[in-house]
Amino acid sequence: MRSKQYSLEDYVTGISAGDRVMLGRAITLVESAKTEHTALAEQVLAALPKPTNTLRIAITGAPGVGKSTFIEAFGMWLIQQGEKVAVLAIDPSSAVSGGSILGDKTRMEQLSVSEHAFIRPSPAGDSLGGVARKTREAILLTEAAGYRIVLVETVGVGQSEIAARRMCDLFMLLLLPGAGDELQGIKRGIVEMADLLVVNKADGERKQLAAMAQAHYINATHLLPSNSSGWSAKVLTASALEREGFAEIWAQIMAYQQSTINNGFWFENRRNQAHYWLHETLMDGMKTAFYNHPDIQAMLPDLEEAVLSGKISPFAAARTLLEHLNFKQ
């Protein structure tokens, strides 16, 4: 294993110096299923600086909305403003489909060759929880490597967006122009999570449609219950193709940050997120240990069958298993 050849110091020195190859190797450690790899990754994380002036932006939208093109163009725009930008992804379907969002770097031609950008496809995994946890750790590693802005792309199907929300400071939803049917394919819950709605492809003949969609969404978001951040969602238009609208998007991101730092939400949210991931990881670790226990694996099939056939109650079966491992309810 190539990744085994490097010491804790190699990783810490490399990442602190912004070495993208070492950063990539550290994320590979995080993604590894081997305990010694993830343990080393944690030592690396513990030893690295933890900048707090970073900005984590979740970006989602239905297929066809032009997420990759938007991220490429917006990412390049941010780099022109002097920023370093990392692009990560959460796509729990990547293990099944074999493909992965961001897997094909040619989708982001300029960004993928910029020395100020770092692009990493979604980690594979058999559960959203596992995939998301790896992305969350990758955020910390990229921040330590000097990427102040992290864009987290998701696939727009619901659960990944909730996970992205739980690790980002701000949630951006990309929309298609064309009023009336623009809610199609986007769950209401995702619209409600958005701090910033951006009608993309506002170019050429679609400019007017985009303005109509913008007006529609301004109305729609006014009806939404107010967010715990105290921020009301803003609706903007942009053209990734013509690279228009980015300055206004950035201004709103800054306004969001200023507003939520002022009212205390910004850091409170980050603390809540850390609390969430701690207890989520605990639950997941317990679950894995429990179901992998040889005694449980031996006992569970018969008990499950007895429950499903109605011979014993689910509660009696659960108690049998828990008591076997000396758990008390």
| Of positions 218, 286, 302, 324, contacts its own copies by CB under 8 A | 286
The Cα–Cα gap between 58 and 172 comes to: 6
As measured in angstroms, the least distance from the Cβ of 227 to its own copies is: 18
The yes or no reply on residue 292 touching its own copies (CB under 8 A) is yes
As measured in angstroms, the least distance from the Cβ of 123 to its own copies is: 14
Pairing of strands 234-237, 85-90: unpaired
The yes or no reply on residue 266 touching its own copies (CB under 8 A) is no
The yes or no reply on residue 319 touching its own copies (CB under 8 A) is yes
The Cα–Cα gap between 119 and 140 comes to: 14
As measured in angstroms, the least distance from the Cβ of 145 to its own copies is: 15
The yes or no reply on residue 8 touching its own copies (CB under 8 A) is no
As measured in angstroms, the least distance from the Cβ of 296 to its own copies is: 9
The yes or no reply on residue 297 touching its own copies (CB under 8 A) is no
| Of positions 211, 220, 224, 312, contacts its own copies by CB under 8 A | 312
Residues 6+ away with beta carbon under 8 Å from 191: 173, 183, 197, 217, 220, 221, 224
The yes or no reply on residue 127 touching its own copies (CB under 8 A) is no
- β-partners of residue 61 are 174
Q: Which range in 60-68, 229-237, 244-252, 299-307 contacts its own copies by CB under 8 A? A: 299-307
Residues 6+ away with beta carbon under 8 Å from 261: 267
The yes or no reply on residue 49 touching its own copies (CB under 8 A) is no
The Cα–Cα gap between 313 and 232 comes to: 48
| Of positions 31, 72, 91, 137, contacts its own copies by CB under 8 A | 137
CA angle in degrees (0–180, nearest 5) for 261-139-159:
90
Q: Closer to its own copies at the Cβ: 43 or 69?
A: 43
Helix (H, G, I), strand (E, B) or coil at 86: strand
Please, is 143 exposed, middle or buried when counting C-beta atoms within 10 Å of its C-beta (0-12, 13-18, 19+)?
buried
Tell me the C-alpha to C-alpha distance, in Å, between residue 224 and each of 43, 44, 168, 176, 177: 43, 42, 21, 20, 21
The yes or no reply on residue 225 touching its own copies (CB under 8 A) is no
| Of positions 64, 99, 230, 285, contacts its own copies by CB under 8 A | 285
The Cα–Cα gap between 276 and 60 comes to: 22
The yes or no reply on residue 318 touching its own copies (CB under 8 A) is yes
| Of positions 133, 201, 206, 216, contacts its own copies by CB under 8 A | 133
Name the site residues for its own copies (rule: CB under 8 A).
35, 38-39, 42, 45-46, 50, 52, 133, 136-137, 140, 188, 270-271, 274-278, 280-290, 292, 303-304, 307-308, 310, 312-319, 321-322, 327-329
